[in-house]
Amino acid sequence: MTNNLKKYQDFFDSVYEGGVIDTKTKHLIALGASLAAGCQP
């Protein structure tokens, strides 16, 4: 894995860790935001 890809994976993992907002809710928020921005699923 390249260094940049590892950094992104570390960032992704830290963002989607459980916390005040659970992981499933964070993924649903991201999906809603991407659809609102006009991204294709």
Render pLDDT for 1-41 as a digit per residue (tens, 0 to 9). 688 899 999 999 998 988 899 999 999 999 999 999 998 76
Tokens of 9: 């994976």
- pTM check: above 0.95: no
Angle at 35 between CA 27 and CA 33, to 5 degrees: 50
CA-to-CA dists, residue 10 to 3, 13, 14, 34, 36, angstroms: 10, 5, 6, 21, 26
- What's residue 28's pLDDT? 94
CA-to-CA dists, residue 23 to 20, 38, 39, angstroms: 9, 23, 21
Name which of 28, 32, 25, 26 is nearest 12 in CA terms: 26
